[in-house]
Amino acid sequence: MANPDKFKKVIAHAKEYGFVFQSSEIYDGLSAVYDYGQNGSELKENIKKYWKDSMVMMHENIVGIDSAIFMHPTVWKASGHVGAFNDPLIDNKNSKKRYRADVLIEEHVEKINIKINKDVEKARKKFGDDFDEDQFRSTNGRIIERQKNIDEILSRFKTAFEKDDLPDIKQIIIDNGIACPVSGSKNWTDVRQFNLMFDTKLGSVSEDADLIYLRPETAQGIFVNYLNVQKTGRMKLPFGIAQIGKAFRNEIVARQFIFRMREFEQMEMQFFIRPGEEDKWFEYWRDARMKWHKALGMGDENYRFHDHENMAHYAKAATDIEFNFPFGFKELEGIHSRTDFDLSQHQKFSGKKLQYFDPETNESYVPYVIETSIGLDRMFLTVLSNSFEEEEINKENGKTEIRTVLRIPEVLAPVKAAILPLVKKDGLPEKARKILEQLKYDFNCQYEEKDSIGKRYRRHDAIGTPFCITVDHQTLEDNTVTLRYRDTMEQERIKIDELNSIIDEKVNFKKLFKELN
Ligand code: ATP
């Protein structure tokens, strides 16, 4: 269920606590470009580690690379991006707002879906335990009518999209009475295609310079290096190449904070396989990626698959993993069966052979590819929005207080432990700093002595620090500290010697990786 109020709070919180800042804020910002602050950049690094290690360390046959952002301009002709990396855009003449035509249609369909789900929920309440959802959906007149409407819109859109029939895409918007969300008007311009790639000039004298592009995806850097890696790494099929890096898209409508940015980061893995094995490996990666997400414990009900109706120009099959963001279920990751499209295209445009000699079959062929592609910033947003909570505490003694806490999965938390001397005297700061020395080689820790202990706890709740370690006078006598847990606020007396292993147990990726293996 969409929750715009919560989303606003998450955005404000992200800024207030050093997670995400608007780029160039002192110059009034740059639209759809963001900077990550002291806590945000740590969280981002931890997400990268979770992804990269789960790919490269946990698979003998996956290796990582780091390719350049700039590539030869012909790469983008071969990949189809120069000709086909377009979004259909439409303007509303009254509000002067610009939209992606496909998104307007998708949102309209989603509204009908919500109505269907409401009817189902009403019936579920009415019939209780005897309720049979499948039967209800297939026999209820109103639902059948609405589902038919959805199917018609989607199939008409699919045909228009495939044929690049822009007038019909506009007609779908008109026929379905889709209005501008801002002005409510149905006064639309024609639909036009808009290429999403940024370009720039290579060379110091711009007149002589070649036009090159800022990569709109990291995948092509993997394809053009496929043979380099295969040969130098002596890789045998099936094998994968993983990469994390920046990508750039001149998005028509950049909204929803870091969900849709013009500069963002992707984590992509291309898995090279024998032709004919693509269905098996597509299923494998579809399941493996869903498991990776769910292992974080952010609620299984917050994820769903969405199989594509409209495939990209290269794809044989495609599915999205969608997450329940505060503005509803939206794409977080794509899993694509890309056939041999990319390698064959690069073979054709470069004139270089990109074949694999299969020692088992004694044949040479261009491998097929399964791709998993996830936006790092979108993943960041899932963690931030899902972990943000305003909790009522101290209700029992009539002094209800709101505690803002980020229940970030411990492995991803920016700061793992805060070390807090109860007072700034009596040798407690010195003792606390010794504990910091003991922990800092393994964990990102913070030492804080300013403000009351309560205030310091709240500050660390707000950035998602799972452990607060308080050093008091008793510590000096018996080498024990109070360990406070972020989620339950429970406190325990613990020996200093035990701290490393208690923290490690929760923040080490090992347990997660074992679950995934
Ligand atoms: P969308 O339909 O939302 O535009 P897409 O299908 O074009 O996304 P892909 O080309 O499959 O996206 O890119 C793979 C992943 O990269 C997406 O699942 C998403 O997580 C991320 N991504 C794509 N565009 C952006 C963007 N503008 N800002 C942030 N992340 C993005």
In a shared domain, residues 218 and 340: yes
Task: Please give the number of the atom of ligand 1 that sits closest to the Cα of 249.
Answer: 27
Please state the pTM of the whole predicted model: 0.87
In a shared domain, residues 362 and 263: yes
In a shared domain, residues 253 and 108: no
> Does a structural domain hold residue 512?
yes
Q: Give the bridge partners for 188, in sequence order.
A: 92
In a shared domain, residues 276 and 425: no
Q: How far is CA 161 from CA 230, 244, 251, 261, in A?
A: 37, 31, 19, 24
> Does a structural domain hold residue 389?
no
pLDDT digits (tens, 9 = 90+) for 343-380: 999 999 999 999 999 999 999 999 999 999 999 999 99
The span from the CA of 507 to the CA of 417, in Å, is: 10
In a shared domain, residues 224 and 359: yes
Centre of ligand 1 to C-alpha 377, Å, is: 10
In a shared domain, residues 206 and 75: yes
Q: How far is CA 131 from CA 125, 128, 144, 437, in A?
A: 8, 6, 18, 60
Residue 8 sits in a domain whose CATH number is 3.30.930.10
Q: Is the CB of 265 under 6 A from ligand 1?
A: no
In a shared domain, residues 114 and 186: yes
Q: Is the CB of 338 under 6 A from ligand 1?
A: no
Return the residue whose CA atom lies nearest to atom 6 of ligand 1: 334
Domain boundary (193, 219, 242) is at 193
Return the residue whose CA atom lies nearest to atom 23 of ligand 1: 375
In a shared domain, residues 230 and 99: no
In a shared domain, residues 317 and 212: yes
In a shared domain, residues 40 and 80: yes
Domain boundary (158, 193, 228) is at 193
> Does a structural domain hold residue 182?
yes
Please answer whether residues 347 and 353 qualify as being in contact, where contact means their C-beta atoms are separated by less than 8 angstroms: yes
In a shared domain, residues 319 and 340: yes
In a shared domain, residues 81 and 219: yes
pLDDT digits (tens, 9 = 90+) for 93-145: 999 888 989 989 999 999 999 999 999 999 999 888 888 888 999 999 999 99
- Other C-beta atoms closer than 10 Å to the C-beta of 492 total 11
Centre of ligand 1 to C-alpha 151, Å, is: 25
Number of domains in the chain: 3
Task: Please give the number of the atom of ligand 1 that sits closest to the Cα of 373.
Answer: 14
Q: Residue 163's pLDDT band (boundaries 50, 70, 90)?
A: confident
Centre of ligand 1 to C-alpha 268, Å, is: 11
> Does a structural domain hold residue 390?
no
Return the residue whose CA atom lies nearest to atom 25 of ligand 1: 260
The span from the CA of 91 to the CA of 97, in Å, is: 6
Please answer whether residues 241 and 63 qualify as being in contact, where contact means their C-beta atoms are separated by less than 8 angstroms: yes
Q: Which domain holds residue 118?
A: 92-193
165 contact partners, CB below 8 Å, separation of at least 6: 159
Domain boundary (160, 193, 226) is at 193
Cα–Cα nearest to 500, from 414, 457, 440: 440
> Does a structural domain hold residue 393?
no
Return the residue whose CA atom lies nearest to atom 4 of ligand 1: 260
Q: Residue 211's pLDDT band (boundaries 50, 70, 90)?
A: confident
> Does a structural domain hold residue 24?
yes
